[in-house]
């Protein structure tokens, strides 16, 4: 029961983490306008994402433009695109693997094999969390470096957007859930040795034991 509970808890965290990775990948709020010094322009806010850039007016109107060329993007955006998509695909793959080896399903009969399959699913989720963590930290490092760089104009400086925080939460859920799946394999009750019982000794008509039992 404890192992099944760990599997359910770990799988739930991983599924939520994978969904948050997809949400973070689609949101345009990776970089937002920094209101500093003379750049206090409350009339509009600029959002930069992996797929598009948006301008939000103070009236509530929003205009978005999809990035025209992938090669024209910065290296951190290109890496973030690729790694977040790979992380999302691995999340779906890990879900299928864990369901196939879960104790509540009958896809696999052998308990030992089922435990190893669940462990494999947990490793996939851990790798998925690392894949999404790398571009998030890379992007945050570039944003912070440009923010404190005096050579960068104030109008070009950006702050960390909500999509990065969502991605960090997703990465944490994937790592924790994957670790739980790796620890949820049940302890094997079989020691590897089979017990053999000797047949019952037969008696003769006189009530004595058959001499063949002692040969």
pLDDT tens by residue, 29-84 = 898 887 665 545 556 788 888 888 888 887 778 888 888 887 878 888 888 999 99
User: Which tokens belong to 156?
Assistant: 């070009």
Question: Which of 33, 24, 199, 174 has its CA nearest to residue 90?
Answer: 174
52: β partners: 66
pLDDT tens by residue, 106-142 = 777 777 788 888 889 999 999 999 999 999 999 999 9
Q: How many C-beta neighbours within 10 Å does residue 96 have?
A: 12
186 three-class SS: coil
Least confident of 2-6, 59-63, 148-152: 2-6
**Is the model's pLDDT at 90 over the cut of 60?**
yes
192 three-class SS: coil
């Amino acid at each position: 029961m404890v192992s099944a509970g760990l599997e359910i808890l770990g799988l739930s965290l991983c599924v939520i983490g994978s969904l948050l990775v997809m949400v973070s990948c689609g949101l345009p709020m990776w970089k937002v306008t920094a209101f500093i010094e003379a750049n206090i322009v409350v009339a509009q806010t600029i959002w930069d994402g992996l797929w598009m850039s948006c301008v939000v007016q103070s009236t509530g109107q929003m205009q978005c433009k999809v990035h025209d060329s992938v090669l024209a993007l910065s290296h951190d955006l290109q890496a973030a695109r690729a790694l977040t998509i790979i992380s999302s695909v691995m999340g779906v793959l890990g879900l299928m693997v864990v369901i196939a080896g879960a104790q509540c399903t009958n896809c696999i009969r052998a308990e030992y094999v089922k435990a190893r399959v669940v462990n494999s699913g947990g490793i996939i989720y851990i790798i998925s969390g690392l894949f999404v963590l790398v571009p998030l930290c890379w992007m945050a490092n570039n944003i912070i470096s440009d923010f404190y760089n005096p050579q960068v104009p104030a109008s070009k400086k950006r702050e960390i957007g909500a999509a990065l925080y969502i991605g960090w939460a997703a990465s944490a859920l994937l790592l924790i859930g994957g670790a739980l799946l790796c620890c949820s394999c049940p302890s094997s009750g079989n020691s590897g040795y089979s017990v053999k019982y000797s047949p019952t000794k037969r008696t003769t008509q006189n009530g004595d034991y058959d001499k063949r039992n002692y040969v």
